[in-house]
Chains A and B, each alone.
Chain A
Amino acid sequence: MITALEVTFGLIALAGAVSAALIRDSYGKLVSLGILVAGVLPFIVDRGYLDVAIAVSLIAPIATIFVLLAVRREER
């Protein structure tokens, strides 16, 4: 990959991880987790593992929906 793009997506992933660690709201944490996944996925595609990229992009929303079940039960 080009170095500028590598720095860009690395910065997005690191910002998502730090903000998911620091934000106190549950929905804000889940949005930051989505930003982290969006920063990690171009590195997987760039190494050539397209089957891993397909599996990750199918399984990451399912894990988020599982966590949303617990969040909805908690705030009720």
Chain B
Amino acid sequence: MIALYVVAAIAVFAALRAIIEKNTGRKLPYANVLNFAVAGALVLLLDHPLSLVAAATYFVGSTLEANAIASTYAGGGKR
């Protein structure tokens, strides 16, 4: 039960830090930290076998999203 509170505290800190930050390049690592914390909270929240699949899917999807934003922000894929 203590692990859930630790993960929630990390999520609040990362969310506030990602919102307050002015520079977009410094926002993205904190958004990644928030995504990892939420993926950990999804596993600990419910005792069900399919919960692990949901958390793994969220982990892959949120990492893909953050990397797509970072790649477009850095000017990748330019023709």
Contact = CB atoms under 8 A, between A and B. Distances in A.
Q: Provide the main secondary structure of the chain A interface.
A: helix
B24 A65 contact: no
B45 A8 contact: no
A5 B4 contact: yes
B53 A54 contact: yes
B24 A45 contact: no
29 contacts: A8-B8, A9-B8, A11-B12, A12-B12, A12-B34, A15-B15, A15-B16, A28-B24, A30-B69, A31-B18, A31-B31, A34-B34, A34-B35, A35-B31, A35-B34, A38-B11, A38-B62, A45-B51, A50-B48, A50-B50, A51-B50, A60-B61, A60-B65, A61-B68, A64-B65, A68-B68, A68-B69, A72-B72, A72-B77
A42 B19 contact: no
Interface of B: 4-5, 8, 11-12, 15-16, 18-19, 24, 27-28, 31, 34-35, 38, 41-42, 45-46, 48, 50-51, 53-54, 57-58, 61-62, 64-66, 68-69, 72-73, 77
Interface of A: 1-2, 4-5, 8-9, 11-12, 15-16, 19, 25, 27-28, 30-32, 34-35, 37-39, 41-42, 45-46, 48, 50-51, 53-54, 57-58, 60-61, 64-65, 68, 71-72
Contact of B38 (A41, A60, A65, A72): A41
Q: Provide the main secondary structure of the chain B interface.
A: helix
